[in-house]
């Protein structure tokens, strides 16, 4: 718990007070870049094309605020579906059943291997390609039948299109997280009588989360911006498409580009704060709280580090252990 300055304990006659090395070139580079940035800001503030008055008019325009809400909804819904599907695909990849593994692999291959824009155009045409969906046995009267266009609005087509693409990436992220958990953890849980579901839920996934969350945060932020492609569906109520539509009326596109950019930046920043707290929650047990005397803490660190860096022992290789 001690946070006091231990350097003060060093006797004055041996304590080092050395002059720092100077780095004039670094200093110069910093000053030049700073001047450049200030120049760009001053220039941008006065430049007519940016039309800051129009920016002020539209930044809180009800249509823009509503579009920002739609963009957040697109992001949240598609990420929730993508994460759930990604976990399923990752677990399928690990399954002892080969067929489940191959199906997962093919899904990832297709949805990661084609551009998301192309996929969104395809899903936009989905209701044309498959006008009705029949549930039942082929060749017999369907038990249940519905028109796709009645059920799937453009918003949900956009969500599904984004989610299926993202699920392929999430599957790989989740798989990396599962692989990062030491196999001894599964053994310990199994030996304690936990079944597979409890082992996953209580032991493996909480530890995998530490590895999964940072790249997932990236994916959420990336998804927020990818929603601007839903115009391919064509869905037009998201932030970017909406601001384009407004600017096509006003014939003044640049301020609206800035408006959309500022909204994207603000939402991204909020997401980054959320990610920070999630990461802290799932780093439990990994951030060391020093609570003992300095010597003891150091010793235990040495031991834990040693254990973590020793490659996994096989079932029967401990012969070089301590002997008496």
Partner 1 sequence: MSELMVRADRVHKVFGRNHVLRGVSMEVKAGEVACLLGPSGSGKSTFLRCINHLETIEGGRIYVDGDLIGYREQGEHLRELTEKELAEQRQDIGMVFQRFNLFPHMTALENIVCSPMTVKREGRVKATQFAKELLEQVGLGEKANAYPSELSGGQQQRVAIARALAMRPKLMLFDEPTSALDPELVGEVLDVMKGLAESGMTMIVVTHEMGFAREVADTVTFMDGGVVVEHGTPEQVLVNPQEARTKEFLSKVL
Report the interface residues with partner 1, using CB under 8 A. 182, 184-185, 187-196, 198, 202-203, 206-207, 210, 282, 284-286, 288-289, 291-292, 296, 299-300, 303-304, 307, 310, 312-313, 315-319, 321-324
Nearer to partner 1, 38 or 303 (CB): 303
Give the span between the Cα atoms of 19 and 37, in whole angstroms.
32
User: Is residue 307 classed as helix, strand or coil in its secondary structure?
Assistant: helix
161 vs 177, beta carbon nearer partner 1: 177
CB of 195 to partner 1, least distance (A): 5
User: At closest approach, how far in Å is the CB of 261 from partner 1?
Assistant: 39
Helix axes 154-180, 98-113, angle to 10 degrees: 120
CB 224 within 8 A of CB 75: yes
311 DSSP assignment: P
Q: Which residues of 149-187 are buried (b: 16+ CB within 10 A; e: fewer)?
A: eeebebbebbbbbbbbbbbbbbbbbbbebbeebeeeebe
CB 317, min distance to partner 1, A: 6
Q: What residue has token string 């849980």?
A: 189
Q: 102-111: which pairs have CB atoms within 8 A and are 24 or more residues apart?
A: 104/171, 107/167, 107/168, 107/171, 108/168, 108/171, 108/172, 110/168, 111/164, 111/165, 111/167, 111/168
The nearer residue to partner 1, 202 or 276, going by C-beta atoms, is 202
Shortest spacing between CB 27 and partner 1, in angstroms:
41
CB 310, min distance to partner 1, A = 8
Taking the least distance from each CB to partner 1, the nearer of 113 and 193 is 193
Nearer residue to partner 1 within complex by CB, 22 or 286: 286
Number of Cβ within a 10 Å radius of residue 86: 26
User: Strand pairing partners for 144?
Assistant: 135
Select 63 or 202, whichever has its Cβ closest to partner 1.
Answer: 202
For 19-72, the DSSP string reads PPPP-HHHHHHHHHHHHHHHHHHHHHHH-GGG-HHHHHHHTT-HHHHHHHHHHH
Whichever of 14 and 191 has its CB closer to partner 1, that residue is: 191
| Residue 198 or 244 having the CB closest to partner 1 | 198
Cβ distance to partner 1 smaller for residue 24 or 314: 314
Task: Output the smallest distance, CB 176 to partner 1, in A.
Answer: 18
CB of 11 to partner 1, least distance (A): 31
* Shortest spacing between CB 312 and partner 1, in angstroms: 8
Write the Ramachandran bin of 275: left for phi over 0, alpha for psi from -120 to 50, otherwise beta: alpha
How far from chain centre, in Å, is Cα 126? 28
Least distance in angstroms from the C-beta of 80 to partner 1 = 24
């Amino acid at each position: 718990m001690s946070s006091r300055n231990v350097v003060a304990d060093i006797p004055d006659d041996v304590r080092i007070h050395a002059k720092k090395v100077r780095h004039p070139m670094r200093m110069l580079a910093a000053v030049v870049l700073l001047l450049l940035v200030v120049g760009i800001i001053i220039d941008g503030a006065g430049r007519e094309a940016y039309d800051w008055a129009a920016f002020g008019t539209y930044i809180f325009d009800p249509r823009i605020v509503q579009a920002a809400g739609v963009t957040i909804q697109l992001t949240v819904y598609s990420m929730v579906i993508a994460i759930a599907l990604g976990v399923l695909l990752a677990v399928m990849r690990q399954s002892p059943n080969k067929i489940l593994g191959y199906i997962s692999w093919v899904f990832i291959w297709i949805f990661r291997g084609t551009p998301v824009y192309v996929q969104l155009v395809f899903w936009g045409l989905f209701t044309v390609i498959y006008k009705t969906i029949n549930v039942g046995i082929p060749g017999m009267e369907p038990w249940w039948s519905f028109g796709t266009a009645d059920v799937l609005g453009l918003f949900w087509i956009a969500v599904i299109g984004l989610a299926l693409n993202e699920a392929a990436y999430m599957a790989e992220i989740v798989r990396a997280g599962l692989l990062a958990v030491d196999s001894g953890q599964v053994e310990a849980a199994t030996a304690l009588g936990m079944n597979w579901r409890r082992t996953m839920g209580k032991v493996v996934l909480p530890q995998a989360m530490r590895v999964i969350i940072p790249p997932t945060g990236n994916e959420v932020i990336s998804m927020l911006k990818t929603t601007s492609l839903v115009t391919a569906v064509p869905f037009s109520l998201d932030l970017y498409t909406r601001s384009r539509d407004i600017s096509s009326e006003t014939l003044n596109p640049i301020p609206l580009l800035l408006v959309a950019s500022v909204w994207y930046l603000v939402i991204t920043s909020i997401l980054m704060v959320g990610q920070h707290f999630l990461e802290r929650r799932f780093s439990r047990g990994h951030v060391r709280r020093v609570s003992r005397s300095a010597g003891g803490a150091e010793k235990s660190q040495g031991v834990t580090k040693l254990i973590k860096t020793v490659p996994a022992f096989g079932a029967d290789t401990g012969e070089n252990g301590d002997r008496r």
